[in-house]
Amino acid sequence: MSSNTLILGLQWGDEGKGKIVDNLSENIDLVCRFQGGHNAGHTIKVNGEKTVLHLIPSGILHNNAKCLIGNGVVVALDALDREINELKSRGIYFKDRFFVSSACSLILPTHISIDQTRDKKESIGTTGRGIGPAYEDKIGRRAIRLGDMGNTNILKEKVELLVNYHNRLLKDLYKESTHDAKDVFNEIMNYVHLYEEFCVDSQDLIYNCVKENKSILFEGAQGTLLDIDHGTYPFVTSSSTTAGGVSTGLGIGPRYIDKIIGISKAYTTRVGEGPFITELFDDAGELLAKRGNEFGATTGRPRRCGWLDLVALKKAVFTNSVTDLCITKLDVLDESEIIKVCIKYDDDKPVYKEFDGWLSPTEGVTKYADLPYKAQTYIEYIESYIDCSASIISTGPSRDQTITREI
């Protein structure tokens, strides 16, 4: 019987999900995104060539895998078109293997204007790509969906109503310039070929995969601590980034998820505003940022760096019913003389346990037994604290720089 696997982040995103999805997609029939939008940035490095995917599932680099953008994703048509064309120029084909749910809500230019205007005033630290406002319209039952492009008369009416609503916000509340509804409609219709080529009933596609005993990989975006309900609210994203988001974002029940792999860096990073209890402002933090090349794949913003927060990680493992832990960027710690992990909070301050650094290279190691003893000690303490074993350990950005363990 085929196994269906969920891969998601256990921190504030940027954990290295793209590489792991790519690694596991080789023998997978269908790879699905179920939430978020082009605020994601999943980086894959193959034979020295780097690929950053924002919307398209990371399985697209394997010709055998079909890929689906599920109904829980909000889609910017211009961003999707650019990403498809870039990949096509590199010889990756899409015909009969890439699909987008007809129920995906679309991101309009007005969403972007609202998002960027708000962030100037509220300093949440969003990517400014219209994700939040698009989700607001989805929940408010105002959204334009991809499937609406099949009837231009109805689409035109919906666009006019929604753009007029957005313009009232922009003009009356934010004192900003407005948009012409006809221009927004024409912008959408510039991408009608995406509707014609890729729009499907996504639940039917998934149902048929299940009934035909095909394997499915569910690819999360962002991370648990950015979840709209379970994250560091209000400094969160606008979607359900946790395991529960799979069912709502794809229309598949939880009993069809056989394995849940939660991904965590060997330390912690965060992009944007919000609390970060283990954040470092010293040389140790600078070393993590430098060795980890910690800049956002989507925005290019420098990531804030800190020690691994095991209190938050243990909670994330519970929230998602994680069966397997994946630790990434272990090699970034190779030059750290002292390594710390947060084991409890005291008046909102971290209490640390210290480890001696291993001060020897782990980059490219592919066997657990070949890791330095002190690195093994570090990993095994993490496993013990969160009560979850690490079946995958990433020791570098490339596909082959990975340790897999039987647990």
Q: Cβ contacts of residue 363 below 8 Å, gap of 6+?
A: 331, 334, 395, 396, 401
Q: Would you call 38 a catalytic residue per the annotation?
A: no
Show the CA angle centred on residue 346, arms to residues 345 and 349, nearest 5°.
75
Name the DSSP class of 189.
H
Determine which one of 14, 148, 227, 331 is catalytic: 14
Segment 114-118 long-range contacts (CB within 8 Å, at least 24 positions apart): 114/166, 114/169, 114/170, 114/174, 117/170, 117/174, 117/176, 118/174
The catalytically annotated residue of 22, 29, 42, 62 is 42
> Phi and psi at residue 45, in whole multiples of 5°?
-125, 120
298 exposed, middle or buried (CB, 10 Å; 0-12, 13-18, 19+)?
middle
Active site residue 283: no
User: Residue 210, class by beta-carbon neighbours within 10 Å (0-12 exposed, 13-18 middle, 19+ buried)?
Assistant: middle
Number of neighbours of residue 249 by Cβ within 10 angstroms: 25
Helix H or strand E encompassing 350: strand 349-356
Catalytic center residues: 14, 42
